[in-house]
Chains A and B, each alone.
Chain A
Amino acid sequence: MIEVEHLTKRYGDTVAVEDISFRVERGEILGFLGPNGAGKTTTMRILTGYLPATAGTVRVAGFDVAEQSLEARRRIGYLPEQPPLYPEMTVTGYLDFVARIKGVPAAERRSRVDAAIAMTHLGEYRRELIKRLSRGYRQRVGLAQALVHDPEVVILDEPTVGLDPKQIIEVRHLIKKLRGNHTVILSTHILPEVSMTCDRVIIINKGRIAAVDTPANLTAQLRGGNLVRLELRGDRNGLEQTLRQIPGVRQVSIEALPDGGRLRVAVETEPGSDLRSRIAAAVVGRGWELYELRAVSLTLEEIFLRLTTEESEETTLEARA
């Protein structure tokens, strides 16, 4: 339904998106996960035809968004990060306008507007001016706007940002209802959101795709991935070498503690392995003083941070400890 090939976007010398390729199948919900400035919004804007790509192609429902822009746009519903609302319009008036510019035939317009209102539970506010609605209800109007022409593809940029927990749950519930009938891409920087709503996740960082997987796989991988923390006194260089020689160790990060020579170490190990005793044996075997050793299981957030933050590993792992 959506095919993105070697998509690149530059602003002058700044690269916003670099060589991104992915596909989304019909009826699938795809999550775009990444920190602010990762290129999520830029990618979505290119998909919707708002921005031209520097290089690469995007096809939506078989139509090239640059070459056959109007045909592609007809099939896309788009909720930008800031809902594009006219505060002085009523909910119904606004949706009627959107239906018109999206090319909904006059005969169906009324029923489409009613359907969008029903889907987003805006019934009792249909005659209300948009400026009188609360943040959560405005977001719903934004969603209704993206759905009013019954598009094959729905693109939602941070649909839950700025909402309270109850509203977030409602919006997620609504997105889940779109599965099967619509192909959905949504962006977020909140992990639980993708695991709750998406079939597949693309983790994007610094304009590149860092990982693609199902949330289930990611979660399984994460549950298995282990972190072992140590505090000891010993030789820093030798320590790293020694630990890395143990099979199953992925990453080692070492930080010197202020009080004379003690080291704080974080060792990341393969999923499903328990290397605590082997690590202890290795450390003690070299004659180093071991003060502390404990296992911390990596959370989803940690993997996400590892994949997407610019900070050094030490800070990241420390911050989560």
Chain B
Amino acid sequence: MSGFLRGVVAIYRKEMGHYLVSPVAYVVLGMFLLIGGLFYYTILTFYMERSLAASMQAMQFGAPPEVDVPSMTINSLFGVLGQVALFLLPMATMGVYAEERRRGTIELLMTSPVTDWQIVLGKYLASFSLFLILLLPTLAYHGVLFWKSEPRPPLGIMLSGYLGLLLLGGAFLALGNFISSLTESQLIAAVVTFCVALVLWIIDIAGPGAGTTIGELFQYLSVLRHYEDFARGVVDTTSLVFFGSWIALGLFLTLRSLDSMRWRRA
């Protein structure tokens, strides 16, 4: 194993071990499943009723209206999962650096022969792994749809939806990692991360209408817009670039933040 990777893995292992014994990780996991499951049930029954109504309509008036129930269900489900991620991921990242700063263990990391990059990557990958674990049980939702619905839901939407969800979560985690590195308080880290994520989520509503340059910018910055494409089965390069550059920027800012800690500390 190369030296660089060894450092990343050491940090990663430590972070994963921390999640394993941390009540916060279990609360986040539990809430994610609870809220996700609740919405899954609601969405499913809603669309089932609609499809029942539609077929009854078809019996009465002949011409059946086009309702693609599985696609709509998946679309709504990803919408909900994205929102749950928005609410819960700030809790998953709030302690990543803030806790190390409060305990002084950051001094151990920063005086060890590991580079800031190794620390940033190891921690980010660990928080991303936690997110993957959160998503694992949601496969069951789609599994049920896939095996039981008639016609079968298009696999493409599922895959692009998951891709979108991973990018969305990755972006929130990068943001959360960065904000956690700015403070010693986990609470502040969580609240600020959530607020910034929320603003980016709905920024297109807040901004002036399309047409003006700022309006266009706000439209582009809106997380929801980019995410909705994925949930509809559209993988747009613009959105890939959007989330990719957001993650890269978040990691870069975290790196700078670690570096500046050396200069600020009095």
B107 within 8 Å of A by Cβ? yes
B85 within 8 Å of A by Cβ? no
Q: How far is the CA of A50 from the CA of B111 in the complex (A)?
A: 6
A32-61: CB near B (< 8 Å → 1, else 0) gives: 000000000000010011111000000000
Whether A102 contacts B113 by the Cβ 8 Å rule is: yes
Whether A101 contacts B7 by the Cβ 8 Å rule is: yes
A115 within 8 Å of B by Cβ? no
A82-125: CB near B (< 8 Å → 1, else 0) gives: 11111111000100011011110000000000000000000000
What B residues does A304 contact at CB under 8 A? Answer: none
Task: Using A50-B107, A50-B262, A80-B107 as known contacts, say yes or no to A100 and B113 having CB atoms under 8 A apart.
Answer: no
Q: Which of the candidate stretches A70-78, A214-222, A275-283, A308-316 sits at the interface with the other chain?
A: A70-78
- What is the CB-to-nearest-CB distance from B15 to chain A, in angstroms, rounded to a whole number? 10
B110 within 8 Å of A by Cβ? yes
Whether B110 contacts A103 by the Cβ 8 Å rule is: no
Whether A50 contacts B110 by the Cβ 8 Å rule is: yes
Task: Using A73-B112, A84-B107, A102-B113 as known contacts, say yes or no to A51 and B17 having CB atoms under 8 A apart.
Answer: no
Residue on A with the closest CB to B9? A100
B88 within 8 Å of A by Cβ? no
Whether A73 contacts B113 by the Cβ 8 Å rule is: yes
Q: How far is the CA of A102 from the CA of B22 in the complex (A)?
A: 25
B263 within 8 Å of A by Cβ? yes
Residue on A with the closest CB to B119? A101
What B residues does A11 contact at CB under 8 A? Answer: 266
Question: In the complex, which residues 94-143 of chain B have their Cβ closer than 8 Å to any Cβ of chain A?
Answer: 103-115
Whether B103 contacts A103 by the Cβ 8 Å rule is: no
**Residue of B22, B104, B107, B265 with most chain A CB atoms under a 10 A cut-off:** B107
Q: How many chain A residues touch the partner (CB < 8 A)?
A: 31
- What is the CB-to-nearest-CB distance from B41 to chain A, in angstroms, rounded to a whole number? 35
B152 within 8 Å of A by Cβ? no
Whether A85 contacts B13 by the Cβ 8 Å rule is: no
A197 within 8 Å of B by Cβ? no
Q: How far is the CA of A142 from the CA of B27 in the complex (A)?
A: 31
What B residues does A86 contact at CB under 8 A? Answer: 14, 18, 103, 105
Residue on A with the closest CB to B114? A101
Whether A101 contacts B11 by the Cβ 8 Å rule is: yes
A145 within 8 Å of B by Cβ? yes
Task: Using A50-B111, A73-B111, A88-B18 as known contacts, say yes or no to A97 and B103 having CB atoms under 8 A apart.
Answer: no
Residue on A with the closest CB to B259? A52
- What is the CB-to-nearest-CB distance from A87 to chain B, in angstroms, rounded to a whole number? 8
Residue on A with the closest CB to B108? A84
Whether B13 contacts A88 by the Cβ 8 Å rule is: no
Whether B103 contacts A84 by the Cβ 8 Å rule is: yes
Whether B105 contacts A49 by the Cβ 8 Å rule is: no
Whether A51 contacts B108 by the Cβ 8 Å rule is: no
Q: How far is the CA of A89 from the CA of B3 in the complex (A)?
A: 25
- What is the CB-to-nearest-CB distance from A46 to chain B, in angstroms, rounded to a whole number? 10
What B residues does A74 contact at CB under 8 A? Answer: 113
Q: How far is the CA of A83 from the CA of B104 in the complex (A)?
A: 8
Q: How far is the CA of A102 from the CA of B110 in the complex (A)?
A: 11
B10 within 8 Å of A by Cβ? yes
Task: Using A50-B107, A84-B105, A101-B7 as known contacts, say yes or no to A70 and B113 having CB atoms under 8 A apart.
Answer: yes
What B residues does A14 contact at CB under 8 A? Answer: 266
Question: In the complex, which residues 12-65 of chain B have their Cβ closer than 8 Å to any Cβ of chain A?
Answer: 13-14, 17-18, 21-22
Contacts A74-B113, A100-B9 supplied; 5 other A-B pairs, CB < 8 Å: A51-B262, A80-B108, A85-B105, A88-B21, A103-B113
Q: Which residues of A does B touch, CB under 8 Å?
A: 11, 14, 45, 48-52, 70-71, 73-74, 76, 78, 80, 82-89, 93, 97-98, 100-103, 145
Chain A to chain B contacts (Cβ below 8 Å), 7 pairs: A45-B265, A49-B110, A85-B103, A93-B17, A100-B10, A101-B113, A102-B113
Q: Which 9 A-B pairs have the closest CB atoms?
A: A84-B108, A100-B10, A74-B113, A84-B105, A82-B104, A48-B111, A101-B112, A73-B113, A70-B113
